[in-house]
């Protein structure tokens, strides 16, 4: 599903209005569907509902919602700010015909009537501004929102935002301090980028997207989307019954060092659990006994090292092995450390990979990215056979872009898109609502934000998952003359990130969001895949 900016939404509404789906019709649908979203979740008969009505279309949506809820048996009251209540306002007229009680903010100087309504409200509907926020909230509106925050805090009253909670910037996710967090946000046609960007994402609660008659194909040129389960299901690698391990590809992992013996194990197990047919761990020979004792399913390629750190000539041996034994994907970086000799290993490996007859597509994670950040314009120095997949967390992304981490986090989608275009790569910017971006400007947000994933090693699991999916795509597309390596890399990144996050959701449900460790995700990757295929 596409994610739109406020301006893109305005243009879509203008196009709809010009083609016969008038603003009045869209408003009627919006308010009606907002009311239906509420009645489908809760029993509202005789429930006390306070609707906060503002100017413009968002307030009109609120009036329609109020009328529909009234007709459904709810006890509705209106609190109106900055809206002229006259015969020209059809939706106000329909509410007046039903004798729905109302209070004008201008007639409630001490806000005593607002406080009284809040004391008795079971539900509060925020239809004040929607996407109309353009500056800091002040004056009467600020005071209204502050009293609503106070009046709903610690109560059982549920807050429903129409389109957006008032004060949430639809484009950046910036949140005014007065914003009242919603339990449910009913947004229209397409979700807005700000609803999936923190801190705003913390204020929207459940997001329900209502169809107001704008054809989805009108947004085909919008570059940012949010992944949906049915999309991921359609992208899962095929699992034919007559398959063998070669059908699902071979995944090579160049990972680990003396101080990080767990990272290669986590990544290798994740690759296997994601469905790849064979996993081989290329590791420093010093740590081979340690790593081999932890995993039974992988094969091994022990390589020359220096006290557990990578040596440049290990690249020669790895390249020679890959020449004789083509692999479907190569993951580099998990736990390799920051030794200077390791950087020399990486440079030699990347410079010579294109000389292979069948160079494997790359996934680069962790310290592989930190080493790249120390190489000036690395994307010009190395020429990869297919766009590599880079999986930075915000700190690694900041180092790669030579900016502050807060600048990355301030506009995650744009940061990932800009980097992917500059590097001719697929960028997976990890974090709450992970962003996957391609060099063609496309970006997909993963619709999960889970504190359970905020623990060491989950990045290794993600990298292994993506590599395992990529290996399956590569193996199944090797005989297809129309195989698109960039599209395969992008889809592998999106599918891998989605499965990883879904496994995190499953782990949090079963264990709780405190105490989940990276290994807990690995066992739940097949559960996530099965759940997707079953639905």
Residue 486 pLDDT more than 90? yes
Model confidence pLDDT, tens digit, residues 241-284: 999 999 999 999 999 999 999 999 999 999 999 999 999 999 99
pLDDT of residue 403: 96
Model confidence pLDDT, tens digit, residues 305-350: 999 999 999 999 999 999 999 999 999 999 999 999 999 999 999 9
Q: What's the average model confidence in pLDDT over 282-304?
A: 98
Task: Tell me the CB-side half-sphere exposure of residue 515, using CA atoms within 13 A.
Answer: 4
Give the residues across from 443 on adjacent strands.
Answer: 224, 437
Residue 134 pLDDT more than 80? no
Q: State the pLDDT confidence band at 229, using cuts at 50, 70 and 90.
A: very high
CA 381 remoteness from chain centre: 31
Closest CA to 129 of 190, 67, 178, 69: 178
Q: What percent of the chain is modeled with pLDDT above 90?
A: 95
CA distances from 330 to 219, 434, 469, 471 (A): 35, 22, 12, 8
Mean confidence (pLDDT) of the chain: 96
Query: What CATH number has the domain spanning 231-534?
Result: 3.40.1190.20
Residues 6+ apart with CB under 8 A from 199: 173, 174, 175
Q: What percent of the chain is modeled with pLDDT above 70?
A: 100
Residue 132 pLDDT more than 80? no
Residue 361 pLDDT more than 90? yes
Rounded to 5°, angle at Cα 466 from 464 and 472: 105
The topology (CATH level 3) of 6-222 is Rossmann fold (3.40.50)
Q: At what angle do helices 518-534 and 262-273 cross, to 10 degrees?
A: 10
pLDDT of residue 18: 98
Model confidence pLDDT, tens digit, residues 142-199: 999 999 999 998 889 999 999 999 999 999 999 999 999 999 999 999 999 999 999 9
All CATH 3.40.1190.20 domain ranges of the chain, comma separated, are: 231-534
Model confidence pLDDT, tens digit, residues 504-515: 999 999 999 899
Q: What's the average model confidence in pLDDT over 204-222?
A: 96
Q: Can you give the pTM of this predicted structure? A: 0.93
All CATH 3.40.50.10260 domain ranges of the chain, comma separated, are: 6-222
pLDDT of residue 101: 97
Rg of the chain (C-alpha set): 27
521 and 467 Cβ atoms separated by less than 8 Å: no
Q: Three-state SS for 473?
A: helix
Tally Cβ neighbours within 10 Å of residue 413: 21
């Amino acid at each position: 599903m596409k994610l739109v900016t406020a301006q893109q939404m305005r243009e879509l509404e203008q196009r709809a209005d010009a083609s016969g789906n008038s603003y009045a019709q869209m408003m009627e649908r919006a308010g009606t569907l907002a009311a239906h979203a509420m009645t489908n979740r809760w029993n509202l008969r005789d429930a006390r509902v306070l609707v906060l009505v503002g100017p413009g279309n968002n307030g009109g949506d609120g009036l329609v919602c109020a009328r529909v809820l009234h007709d459904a048996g709810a006890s509705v009251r209106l609190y109106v700010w900055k809206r002229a209540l006259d015969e020209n306002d059809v939706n106000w007229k329909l509410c007046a015909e039903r004798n729905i009680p109302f209070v004008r903010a201008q007639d409630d100087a001490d806000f005593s009537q607002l406080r009284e309504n809040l004391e008795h409200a079971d539900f509060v509907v925020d239809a004040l501004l929607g996407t109309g926020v353009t500056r800091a909230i002040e004056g009467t509106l600020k005071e209204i929102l502050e009293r609503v925050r106070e009046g709903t805090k610690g109560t059982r009253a549920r807050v429903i935002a129409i389109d957006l909670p008032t004060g949430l910037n639809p484009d950046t996710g910036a949140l005014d301090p007065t914003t009242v967090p919603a339990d449910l946000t009913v947004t229209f046609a397409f979700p807005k980028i700000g609803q999936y960007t923190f801190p705003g994402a913390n204020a929207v609660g459940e997001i329900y997207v209502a169809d107001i008659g704008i054809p989805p194909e009108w947004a085909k040129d919008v570059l940012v989307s949010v992944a949906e389960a049915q999309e991921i299901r359609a992208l899962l690698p095929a699992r034919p019954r007559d398959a063998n391990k070669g059908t699902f590809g071979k995944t090579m992992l160049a990972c680990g060092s003396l101080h990080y013996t767990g990272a290669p194990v986590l990544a290798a197990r994740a690759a296997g659990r994601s469905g790849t047919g064979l996993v081989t761990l290329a590791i420093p020979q010093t740590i081979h006994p340690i790593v081999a004792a932890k995993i039974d399913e992988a094969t091994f390629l022990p390589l020359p090292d220096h006290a557990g750190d990578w040596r440049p000539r290990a690249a020669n041996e790895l390249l020679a092995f890959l020449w004789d034994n083509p692999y479907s994907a190569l993951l580099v970086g998990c736990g390799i450390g920051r030794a200077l000799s390791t950087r020399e290993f990486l440079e030699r490996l990347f410079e010579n990979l294109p000389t292979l007859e069948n160079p494997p597509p790359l996934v680069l994670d962790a310290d592989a990215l930190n080493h790249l950040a120390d190489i000036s314009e690395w994307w010009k120095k190395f020429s990869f056979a297919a766009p590599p997949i880079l999986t930075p967390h915000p700190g690694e992304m900041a180092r790669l872009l030579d900016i502050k981490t807060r600048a990355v986090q301030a506009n995650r989608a744009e940061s990932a898109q800009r980097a992917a275009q500059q590097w001719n790569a697929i960028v997976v910017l990890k974090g709450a609502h992970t962003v996957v971006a391609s060099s063609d400007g496309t970006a997909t947000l993963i619709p999960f934000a889970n504190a359970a994933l905020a623990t060491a090693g989950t990045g290794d699991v993600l990298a292994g998952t993506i590599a395992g999916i990529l290996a399956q795509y590569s193996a199944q597309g090797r005989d297809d003359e129309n195989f698109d390596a960039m599209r395969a890399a992008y889809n592998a990144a999106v599918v891998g990130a989605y499965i990883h996050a879904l496994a995190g959701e499953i782990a949090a449900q079963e264990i709780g969001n405190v105490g989940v460790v990276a290994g807990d995700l690995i066992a739940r990757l097949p559960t996530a895949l099965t759940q997707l295929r079953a639905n």
